[in-house]
Structure formats: C-alpha cells, structure tokens
Amino acid sequence: MRTLAAVTFFFVQVAYATEYPANQQPMYGGINKTPAMVEADDKFLRAVREQGYSPQQASNKSVELGWTYLRRNDLAAAIQRFNQGWLTDPANGDVYHGFAVVVLERDKDAASADKFFQQALNKPRHSNGVYVDYGRFLALQERYADAVPVLRKAVAIDGITPDAMALLTMSLAGAGDMKSACVEASNVKPGVQPSYRDAVRLIQSRCPK
C-alpha cells in the first residue's frame, strides 16, 4: 500500500560506510582481540565490580547511555556503549535492539538490523519498546504481514506508546486486511505522531460507514 509506505518512520538513514574500528562494530566485530584489548576489557569489568554493579545493572546503564548518544545522533559513541552493554551482559536484549538501530541508521543494512531485532526478542530480557521498533522497521520494509504479529504483541502491553496501535492499523491495511485495519483504527488513541495520525485517518476514510 504505497500511501502507507510513504509515511516517514523513526529510522533516518545516513551516509554508508564500510569500515569501522572494532569498538564501533556490533559485538566488536567478532575479532580476535589483541592483548591490549583484552586488558582494557578486564579493566572495565573490574571497575564495574568495584563500583558495586551487577553485570545486569552495568549493562542497563551502558544501554541507557547508548540511547542518549543515539538521540544526539552520535552513532559512534552510541555503539561503543551498546558494546559495553554486551560485554557486561550478552543476555540483555536491549543491547541488540541498539545494534539494530545503529546498523540501520548508519549503514542502511536492513538485513543485519532484522537479525539484531530478532536476537533482541529472543534474549531472556528486553524492554517492551523493541516490539514497537521492530514492528515499525518491518512496516518500513513493506513487510506488513510480518509486522502484524509483532505489533499485536506490542499493543497488548499496558502503557505502550499509542504509536503501536497506529502502526498495527497501518500494517493491517498494508497487508490487505482492511476489515481488521478498520477495527483497530477505532482503538488508536490521541498522542500518536502526526504522520501516523494522518495515515490512520486515511484508512478510516476507506472504511464502511
């Protein structure tokens, strides 16, 4: 549904680059680290323990910093913090959520972003926002049918952003299920992004009266 595909989504794609230092690649690029790198990792992990943080707490703090840098469009600093989050707790799904957003924005690498989103959801713990961002990503890729089950999980979560219901409505319409889209459109609450609101109104204009 081209009208819906034209809606501006969260992700902003920037200049593509192919080579980055290890600390600016997800999970350090999977390289065999030099002794100096291993020593730096050990020093960081010792500092975490000395400050009294558990691996999970330290990872959460690194991820929070990563999102702060991401909002400032400092992608290099963001992925370094996500890597630190991965180093302290590889089971933290929010780390992979961060990787997904960085590789999509920085590298325009939708295939890698998709894999990272799936890894995020498969980890033992992750924030609820990953459902919304993954559903948004799938809709951006015009994979509307794939977006629907992800967004249905999102809208079932208490307190989730109202954008989730708008995205679900748009994805249902994009997948050709106008009947369901019309039902969900009535559940979209105030506070959605203006572009989503306009798309939902367009869908509603096509619903039976």
Q: Which of 42 and 201 is assigned the larger pLDDT?
A: 201
What is this structure's pTM?
0.86
Q: What is the pLDDT of residues 77-114, one digit of tens each?
A: 999 999 999 999 999 999 999 999 999 999 999 999 99
Q: Which tokens go with 158?
A: 């208490």
**End-to-end C-alpha distance for the chain, whole angstroms:** 21
pLDDT band at 4; cut points 50, 70, 90? very low
Residue-range domains of the chain with CATH: 1-125 (1.25.40), 128-209 (1.25.40)
| Close Cβ partners of 153 (under 8 Å, ≥ 6 residues apart) | 131
Q: Which tokens go with 105?
A: 């924005």
CA pair distance 78, 69, nearest whole angstrom: 5
Q: Which of 164, 201, 178 is nearest to 1 (CA)?
A: 178
Q: Which tokens go with 122?
A: 């498969």
